Structure 1
């Protein structure tokens, strides 16, 4: 659970990102050398802040759905009653990694139409695997002495799950969610190919108009979000591990 950024760099990157989203015109001079024939240096076909918030919302909804399903499957297959479903569960969560997101979008559009819905389906499927595998690892590597003590204290299976297993496994689970979020942030950009409102809209506009400044600013905003969110989840993992006495 390594930390990417020292505090001063983290705050600096956050301040720079917020400044660009709220006052993009301040950066026009830096990006102007990347455009040709007087083309705009700052994306002017929509509001960057709004697109960023919609991008984050799409990733958050898909990750939340993937988290609920993946952790529920991990809990099921680590109970005696559901152990036989482990191979099937692994096959199901691997579907998202087997099919490229573009293929998922192409299959989803005829069923649910254009917009955010096909993007949510693609991100949901793509995010299942890291969360499931980490949840499975966390739930199957718990200290035997702690589990025996919980049984000796007369806890029911549900009480052990809620009070002991999930809290102890939470740092590993958070690592899986972190990976899923970072993957989702990058993958969500392709949602704009099916009319979803994401930062991919900025990148696509740049490619269509041969405007490198648009492509760069869309990519850099996504990259900055990924670094900051990765770092935030790493901090949550360390806090959860410290609380559980694992570091």
Structure 2
């Protein structure tokens, strides 16, 4: 996935915002995709509401995955925690072992229908890229920089907070970016267990054989993924310049 030019990014954001707030304006665009007088715009709920709920699930799951994955990576890169690396890798790989549908199927009997099983699936799927990128960022730092920090009298905690994490930030952000993009796509299946996501639009289209609904849901998720990916890419560049200036 490549970053969009600034004008294309702004245009995509403006079109998405307009569609979510006033979908009726776009009815002529989707009308040719319907048959037998079917509605051209999803009318079983608010597209804006579903999109915000979708983003909320992804944000919450990513925040939890980031907290655990970064903490584990810090632990296993400290001398006292190095022996926990195999166990940590096994833990963060759990989400990649089972397909999302299987995670949902296992979670529903335990926690019921709704947002919770979807959060569990997104959380587990988001761990691996964040953990591996944080691990890479922390283990590939220049030894000279770390030694210089030691030479200034910094404690281990100070070195971690002021030197290691800032320098590793661009790589960590790349892992979070990948986790978010995966989460945006994976969250759509949450609607199969009654979670409020954009997947509701896609499923409604599939059940009613309404291509307009399917396309609307797919486009919302795709545009969000591209814009968020682009945003994290820009944030990573800023972090890279900042960490480079302070190293």
| TM-score bucket (shorter structure) | over 0.9
Residue 31 of structure 2: aligned partner: 32
Residue 42 of structure 1: aligned partner: 41
Q: Distance in 2 between matches of 1:194 and 1:245?
A: 46
Query: What are the within-5 Å matches in structure 2 for residues 1-247 of structure 1?
Result: 4-245=3-244
2:134 counterpart SS class: helix
Conserved in 2, the CA contact under 8 Å of 1:59 and 1:185? yes
C-alpha root-mean-square deviation of aligned residues, in Å?
0.9
Conserved in 2, the CA contact under 8 Å of 1:3 and 1:234? no
Question: TM-score under structure 1 normalisation?
Answer: 0.98
Q: Distance in 1 between matches of 2:218 and 2:126?
A: 21
Q: Distance in 2 between matches of 1:44 and 1:223?
A: 21
Aligned length: 245
- What is the Cα deviation at residue 164 of structure 1? 0.5
**Superposed structure 1 runs of 4+ greater than 2 Å apart:** none
Q: Distance in 1 between matches of 2:218 and 2:237?
A: 29
2:45 counterpart SS class: coil
Q: Distance in 2 between matches of 1:207 and 1:90?
A: 38
Provide structure 2 residue ranges, at least 5 long, that are not aligned to the other structure.
none
Deviations 1:127-146 (A, max 9, x none): 00000000000000111111
Provide structure 1 residue ranges, at least 5 long, that are not aligned to the other structure.
none
Q: Distance in 1 between matches of 2:109 and 2:157?
A: 42
- What is the Cα deviation at residue 199 of structure 1? 0.2
Conserved in 2, the CA contact under 8 Å of 1:130 and 1:179? yes
Conserved in 2, the CA contact under 8 Å of 1:3 and 1:235? no
- What is the Cα deviation at residue 4 of structure 1? 1.3
- What is the Cα deviation at residue 245 of structure 1? 1.4
1:89 counterpart SS class: helix
Question: TM-score under structure 2 normalisation?
Answer: 0.98
Deviations 1:103-123 (A, max 9, x none): 000000011110000000000
Q: Distance in 2 between matches of 1:98 and 1:213?
A: 34
Conserved in 2, the CA contact under 8 Å of 1:59 and 1:184? yes
